[in-house]
Chain A
Amino acid sequence: MVFLTAFVALAISWSGFVLVTQLQLGRVDQAKTIPAGEAYPLARSGQAMQGAEVYRSLGCVYCHSRQINQQGTTVEVTLVNAGTNSANVLGAIRTVAPQFGQIESLANVPKVLGQVADTAAADSLVTAISEAGGQAMVEILPSGPDISRHWGTRRSVAQDYIYDPVVQPGVRRFGPDLTDAGRMHPDAQWQLLHLYAPKTVVKDSTMPGHRFLFEQRKLGRNPTPEALPLAGDFAPPAGYEIVPTEAARSLVAYLLSLRADAPLYESPVTPPVPPATNDVAVVTK
């Protein structure tokens, strides 16, 4: 009787969380981005796959999560072109979306008209505007603290993980989330410096340096091209240089491959504008 209870209880939970999950998500494959229709995600390079092993082996997951939560979504309509007859377009806007009644004129395009309830409402407004001779754009903006911190552009979905050999969404954020690490800091040298001595690039960092991923080499006639540009407290002794090992380079290749910003049906988002170059300017010097 006791054994039966235990068996039934565990069997139900096993079927629910193991079997059903496998049936529901086990065969998730590449998806098409919307509206571009590109395949997502793309398989990683061999070096990045080796880096995934380094990531697992160093236990990065014990400080960094890789999942973005989203608390809501706002849908915004922006008028891109008022066309030749702006009064006509304004009339169309007022008819379809009476909440924008306070808009007096359509000068200074592109002009953010405001938020609408959902994508269906946005689509009907865009259609009405284009029928009136104008042109409008819909922006889907996920919201929540993770997204405001620029850790990701949208919530994580099953597709984001299909090419990970070991899936580690993580449950701790003693360090920042790494879902979009490759988009946040696309410069390999920034990543290498950060691994060697985090404080060189992030002043308040609490991450320990991973100097064992680097080699201290005697300076030859010419400095090695990959040697890290270190100065001040972090510089190696005179006559030496710091060169990343294969493991460090693989890990960085993996970190740069971490991007989860493709707009998908399950998790729509308007692709963000590529980051401004000054975002990485600090590090490239």
Chain B
Amino acid sequence: MTATISPVPGPIDRSCRLPLFALFGCAAGWLVLSSIFGLAAAMTFHNPSLLANCPMFTLGRAYPTWAYLFIYGFGVPTAWGAGLWLMARLGRIKAMNPILITVGAKLWHVGVLVGLIGILSGDNSGFEWLELPRYAAVILFLAFMLMTVWLFMTCSWRTEPNLYPSQWFVLGAAFWFIWIFSTSVFLLQMHPVRGVVQAAIAWWFAGNLLNVWLTLAGLAVTVYVLPKLAGKPLHSYYLALFIFVTVALFGSWTGLPVHAPLPAWMGIFSSTAAALMIVPALALGLLVVKTTSGEGQPACMGGVLYFAKFGAFMLVLATLVSAVAACPVVARTTDFTWFTEGQIMLRLYGFFAMTMFAAVYHILPRVSGLEISLRRIRMHFWLAMPGSLLLALPLLVGGVRQGLRLADATVPFAATAQAAVLWVRISTLGETLIALGTLIFCVNVGWLILTYYRTLLKQQVTEALALQPVEVKS
């Protein structure tokens, strides 16, 4: 890292610095904590009695904590921060009211902490991907609204009238989050609906969160970073628009298992929508290949571009896998097994986390004027990339083996779990690599922020000292 802040960031980048430091800094910390709980949850399958006496680390608490910290601790703040920077940069306008955004960001992280304490002490809501207790949900919602108002203001006061695809994705993601989060918190926690409707709403939320919000938030970065770093324009705006529209249309219906105890039409609608998600997935594959192929490719394997490119391809793969698994015949085997986990890991770690790493590594140096050592970025890539594949793919294989045995009632239940053991062990290896990667990520982000303030302090001290003789003379 260089000792001085140079080149000096422009006014737009400078306006985003404080909020982004607040958002990315804590997010990196939450991500490390999330990985630790992920590993603790995985330990249950290696040695059930190892952490069993500590309620906090039993699977039933560690798993929701992992998911919660990943989505609300790491996912939302990084995606939101990247969104703000893209909105300001592409709209050629300074971020509106960075101080209030920073207050919102801090409030968000306080909310995450409150939720974390709640979940660990057994106050989880019981709904997957919405594990946070009601009181934490209120704080998070207020914080999100406080920040997002200024995101929308930044967009509406932009000086560049034309919207770039990234901006559509950012606006879509923000809008989506507000709607699905408020509906689900209100109808599941504030004023709970009765019976199986709860399950339907929880699945609707999960589908929209994982298949739409995550996709939109990630693709906002992908369609900006890929052309920028590949040194070529985005292959087609229309294709990007097509992806946006199809993800919004089909993705919003996904999430309900086809054999759920709900009216049959719902499961069928949902599985059809999941199958139709192949359309945006293929379009995305085409967009990425066309945008990044050709001459002038940067030589550095494992740099920021590769995070984004790998992430985009993993989204294509994850969507294809979900589409196959949604087919009722396949779902009979793969539902209730490790396969579902594998598919989620592919989306969360393969696509989303990798894309967000690309965003943070691309944006932070620009807003701070400091470089992150390429060696450490590459080290992170070479842990995270094989880690996410080693985590997700064995779970897919293990899930199919488990599912085939579950579907055959003559196989004793213990044997169904046994069928996946080897594959779960391999996946834990992947999870360990990812955890090490997140540690490097946290160091990279933390070090940059610390260096920034240290350098700033040094500069101010030097300036103050340099001024002293003048003061003495006068």
Q: Return the contact of A16 from the options B269, B341, B408 (Cβ within 8 A).
A: B269
In the complex, whether A224 has a CB less than 8 A from a CB of chain B is no
Residues from chain A with a CB closer than 8 A to the CB of B183 are: 14, 18
Cβ-defined partner of B248 (8 Å) among A10, A22, A210: A10
A166 and B248 contact, CB distance less than 8 A: no
- CB within 8 Å for A161 and B199 given contacts A9-B252, A145-B408: yes
Given contacts A13-B253, A58-B55, A171-B340, contact A18 B248 (CB under 8 A): no
- On whether the beta carbons of B336 and A17 are closer than 8 Å, the reply is no
Q: Are B337 and A58 in contact (CB under 8 A)?
A: no
Q: Which residues between 184 and 215 of chain B lie within 8 Å of chain A, taking CB atoms?
A: 187, 192-201, 203-204, 208
Stretch binding the partner chain, chosen from B81-89, B170-178, B362-370: B170-178
CA distance A209 to B44 in the complex (A): 11
B64-A59 in contact (CB<8A): yes
In the complex, chain B residues 384-415 whose Cβ is within 8 Å of any chain A Cβ: 406-410, 412-414
Q: Which residue from A25, A164, A169 sits with its C-beta under 8 Å from B263?
A: A25
How many residues on the A side are at the interface (Cβ–Cβ under 8 A)?
64
Q: Does A235 contact B (CB under 8 A)?
A: no
Q: Cβ of A205: which chain B residues have Cβ within 8 Å of it?
A: 414
In this complex, what residue of B is CB-closest to A64? B60
Scan A1-32; emit 1 where CB is below 8 A from any B CB, else 0. Answer: 01101110110111011100110111110000
A21-B266, A24-B263, A65-B336 in contact; A158/B196 too (CB < 8 A)? yes
CA distance A62 to B412 in the complex (A): 21
- Decide if A28 touches B335 in the complex (CB within 8 Å): no
The smallest beta-carbon distance between A163 and chain B, in angstroms, is 8
Contact-size category for B: 35 or more
Q: Does A105 interact with chain B (Cβ within 8 Å)?
A: no
Contacts of B257 in A (CB 8 A): 171
Q: Which residues of chain A come closer than 8 Å to B410, judged between CB atoms?
A: 148
Q: A160-B261, A208-B48 are in contact. Are A26 and B123 (CB under 8 A)?
A: no
Asked if A176 lies at the interface with its beta carbon under 8 angstroms from chain B, I say yes
Bound-state CA distance A162–B193 (Å) is 10
CB distance from B265 to the nearest CB of A (A): 9
Q: How many A-B residue pairs have CB under 8 A?
A: 192
Stretch of B28-36, B124-132, B432-440, B457-465 at the chain-chain interface: B124-132
Per the bound structure, the CA–CA distance linking A244 and B203 in Å amounts to 35
Assuming the contacts A59-B61, A208-B58, asked whether A10 and B244 have C-beta atoms less than 8 A apart, the reply is no
On chain B, the residues within 8 Å of A13 by CB distance are 204, 208, 252-253
> B443 at interface (Cβ–Cβ under 8 A)?
no
- B156 CB, min distance to chain A CBs, angstroms: 11
Considering the complex, which residues of chain A in the window 253-279 have a beta carbon less than 8 Å from any beta carbon of chain B?
A: none
What chain B residues lie within 8 Å of A159 (beta carbons)?
Answer: 195
Known A-B contacts A2-B168, A25-B195, A65-B336; the reply to A208 vs B175 at CB < 8 A is no
Q: Does A84 contact B (CB under 8 A)?
A: no
| Cβ-defined contact, A22 with B193, below 8 A | yes
- Chain A, 110-168, CB within 8 A of any chain B CB: 145, 148-149, 155-162, 164-168
Is B61 in contact with A58, judged by CB distance below 8 angstroms?
yes
Is A206 engaged at the interface, CB distance under 8 Å to the other chain? yes
Residues of chain B lying within 8 A (CB to CB) of residue A210: 52, 58
Which chain B residues lie closer than 8 Å to A211 at the CB level?
Answer: 52-53
CB-CB < 8 A to A21: which residues of B? 197, 200-201, 262-263, 266
Residue of A with least CB distance to B188 = A166
Query: A5 contacts which chain B residues (CB < 8 A)?
Result: 244-245, 248
- The minimal Cβ–Cβ distance linking A179 to chain B, given in whole angstroms, is 10
Chain A residues, Cβ within 8 Å of B112:
none
Is B204 a contact of A59 with CB atoms below 8 Å? no
Set of chain A residues within 8 Å of B59, measured between Cβ atoms: 59, 62-63, 208
Q: With contacts A3-B171, A145-B409 known, is A10 near B197, CB below 8 A?
A: no
B52 touches which of A9, A25, A204, A208 (Cβ 8 Å):
A208
Q: Restricting to B19-50, which residues have a CB under 8 Å from any CB of A?
A: 44-45, 48-49
- A-contact 0/1 string along B261-274, CB 8 Å cutoff: 11100100100000
Contact call A58/B176, Cβ cutoff below 8 A: no
Query: Does B1 make an interface contact (CB < 8 A)?
Result: no
In the docked arrangement, what's the CA distance between A13 and B302, Å?
A: 39
- A61 within 8 Å of B (CB atoms): yes
Interface hits, B349-367 → A, CB 8 Å: none
Set of chain B residues within 8 Å of A24, measured between Cβ atoms: 263
B261 to chain A: which residues have CB within 8 Å? Answer: 67-68, 155-158, 160-161, 169
Asked if A148 and B64 sit within 8 Å, CB to CB, the answer is no
- Give CA–CA (A280, B410) in the complex, Å: 22
Contact flags A28-69 to B (C-beta < 8 A → 1, else 0): 100000000000000000000000000011111111010111
Sample (25) of A-B pairs whose CB atoms are under 8 Å apart: A3-B172, A3-B175, A5-B244, A10-B180, A10-B208, A10-B248, A13-B208, A17-B256, A21-B201, A21-B262, A24-B263, A26-B194, A28-B194, A58-B55, A60-B60, A61-B60, A69-B332, A159-B195, A160-B261, A161-B196, A167-B198, A167-B199, A174-B417, A205-B414, A208-B49
| Given pairs A149-B409, A172-B340, 17 additional interface contacts (CB within 8 A) | A3-B175, A12-B252, A13-B253, A14-B252, A22-B193, A58-B60, A59-B64, A69-B332, A145-B407, A157-B261, A168-B126, A169-B260, A171-B335, A173-B406, A204-B412, A208-B44, A209-B52
B contact residues vs A (CB 8 Å cutoff): 44-45, 48-49, 51-55, 58-61, 63-64, 122-128, 163, 168, 171-172, 175-176, 179-180, 183, 187, 192-201, 203-204, 208, 241, 244-245, 248-249, 252-253, 256-257, 259-263, 266, 269, 332, 335-337, 340-341, 406-410, 412-414, 416-417
Q: Lowest 10 CB-CB distances: which A-B pairs, in order?
A: A59-B60, A148-B409, A204-B414, A13-B252, A208-B52, A57-B122, A9-B248, A156-B261, A208-B48, A166-B126
